[in-house]
């Protein structure tokens, strides 16, 4: 394996620049693809991320020593040339390109290839080596167009409102919640948000990201004063004592995992909407092809299946163990 990037017990390491990419153990210098908890962890000496990713990282991690960088702006770190390029996952998310002596590696972080109108659209990078996620690396995972999903969510919400029920929609507080917000039709009714979602909304609005008007659903809020509302909440709050104060309600969960019937049956929600901030099977293949890379390293997700498919179709592909989690059904994991 080339020495430009290596996989260590602390994370993906670049010896030429003496830095790590999304390390899962404390390190002196960390380059971070985006602010989700499995990629941006506490305890590092210094952080480098895009200007658009840093506000959420500071909100989540507190007083960190961090530097921001523009997209597509090369900088020299030791003997390496590094640049951050849009990953399309959540606002500010990046792929990290590392070049040493003409050899180019790209670490994808998490990404999706479908533009969502909220995140900076994915920009494939030509390279020799590509480290890709594979959260949804099975052919069964093929997403519907965003407009179609938005229509389904709004139709469900309108049905709930007409029946005198509050619509509860479960989604992770960073990325998924704001994407759903941008798809909702405010003419149907008021949009309420759990405090965790609203805290992230506040950070992103301060960056100039336009989101529909929302009302924080505090403990003293009177549900009867907001009939026909949709409540956007982390999955952990669905069915909670707080949620039950709203009386008659329908619940739904928004995730790529809703593609699987068995998962939909196991969730407590009344409905499941298939939408993800990760690439589907076709998106993963499109991204790999666009890099022109011969060597592919497959992390978190269906690593064995996706690596085997790539190997059978002309790539030098191998699964690599990491501690990234991608989009999970664990309500405590923001993905």
Q: Where are the domains of the chain?
A: 6-140+278-319, 146-273
Structure tokens at 311: 């190997």
Question: Residue 264: its pLDDT value, please?
Answer: 58
User: To the nearest whole number, what is the mean pLDDT of the chain?
Assistant: 93
Task: Check whether 335 has a pLDDT greater than 50.
Answer: no
What would be the CATH architecture of the domain defined by 146-273?
A: 3-Layer(aba) Sandwich (3.40)
State the Cα–Cα distance between residues 253 and 273, nearest whole angstrom: 6
Confidence of residue 265 (pLDDT cuts 50, 70, 90): low
Residue 69: helix, strand or coil by DSSP? strand
For residue 319, the model assigns a pLDDT of 97
pLDDT surpassing 70 at residue 273: yes
Report whether CATH 3.40.30.10 matches the domain 6-140+278-319.
no
At residue 266, the pLDDT reads 57
The pLDDT of residue 220? 82
* pLDDT per residue as tens digits for the range 186-240: 999 999 999 999 999 999 999 999 999 999 998 788 888 898 999 999 988 888 8
- On the question of pLDDT at 250 being above 50, the answer is yes
Q: What string of DSSP letters covers 291-331?
A: HT-SEEEEEEESHHHHHHHHHHTT-EEEE---S---S-S-T
pLDDT score recorded for residue 22: 98
Q: Is the pLDDT of residue 11 over 60?
A: yes
pLDDT classification of 173: cutoffs 50, 70, 90: confident
Comparison of pLDDT for 236 and 335, the residue scoring more: 236
* H runs (alpha helix) in the chain: 54-61, 146-162, 176-183, 195-206, 241-244, 261-266, 281-291, 303-312
Mean pLDDT of 260-279: 78
Domains 6-140+278-319 and 146-273 share a fold: no
The answer, yes or no, to whether residue 268 has pLDDT greater than 80, is no
Tokens of 100: 């040493």
Single out the residue of 97, 95, 125, 123 nearest to residue 110, CA to CA: 95
* β 166-170/249-254 pair status: parallel
Least trusted range by pLDDT, from 49-63, 239-253, 287-301: 239-253
Query: Is the predicted pLDDT of residue 108 greater than 60, yes or no?
Result: yes
Q: What is the pLDDT of residues 27-68, one digit of tens each?
A: 999 999 999 999 999 999 999 999 999 999 999 999 999 999
- pLDDT value for 224: 80
Identify the three-state secondary structure at position 197.
helix
Percentage of the chain beyond pLDDT 70 is: 94
Q: Where are the beta strands (DSSP E) in 15-112?
A: 19-21, 29-31, 46-50, 66-69, 75-77, 80-86, 94-100, 103-107
Question: In this model, does residue 295 exceed pLDDT 80?
Answer: yes
């Amino acid at each position: 394996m080339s020495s430009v990037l290596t996989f260590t017990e602390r994370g993906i390491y670049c010896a030429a620049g003496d830095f790590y990419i999304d390390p899962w153990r404390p390190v002196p210098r960390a380059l971070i693809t985006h602010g989700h908890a499995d990629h941006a962890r506490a305890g590092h000496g210094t952080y480098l991320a895009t200007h658009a990713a840093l506000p959420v990282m500071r909100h989540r991690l507190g007083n960190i020593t961090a530097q921001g960088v523009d997209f597509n702006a090369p900088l020299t770190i030791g003997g390496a040339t590094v640049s951050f390029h849009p990953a399309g996952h959540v606002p500010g998310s990046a792929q990290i390109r590392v070049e040493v002596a003409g050899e180019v590696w790209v670490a994808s972080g998490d990404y999706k290839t479908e533009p969502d109108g909220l995140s900076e659209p994915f920009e494939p990078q030509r390279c020799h080596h590509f480290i890709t996620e594979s959260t949804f690396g099975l052919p069964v995972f093929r997403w519907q167009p965003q407009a179609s999903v938005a229509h389904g969510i709004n139709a469900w919400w309108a049905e709930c409102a007409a029946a005198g029920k509050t619509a509860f929609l479960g989604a992770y507080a960073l990325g998924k919640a704001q994407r759903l917000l941008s798809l909702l039709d405010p003419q149907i009714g008021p949009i309420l948000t759990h405090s965790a979602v609203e805290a992230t909304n506040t950070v992103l609005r301060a960056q100039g990201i336009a989101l529909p008007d929302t009302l924080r659903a505090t403990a003293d809020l009177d549900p009867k004063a907001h009939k026909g509302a949709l409540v956007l909440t982390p999955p952990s709050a669905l069915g909670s004592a707080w949620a039950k104060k709203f009386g008659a309600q329908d619940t739904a969960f928004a995730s790529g995992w809703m593609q699987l019937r068995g998962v939909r049956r196991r969730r407590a929600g009344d409905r499941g909407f298939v939408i993800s901030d990760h690439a589907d099977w076709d998106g993963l293949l499109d991204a790999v092809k666009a890099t022109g890379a011969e060597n592919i390293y497959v992390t978190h997700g269906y690593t064995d299946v996706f690596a085997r498919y790539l190997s059978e179709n002309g790539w030098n592909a191998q699964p690599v163990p990491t501690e990234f989690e991608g989009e999970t059904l664990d309500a405590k994991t923001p993905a």
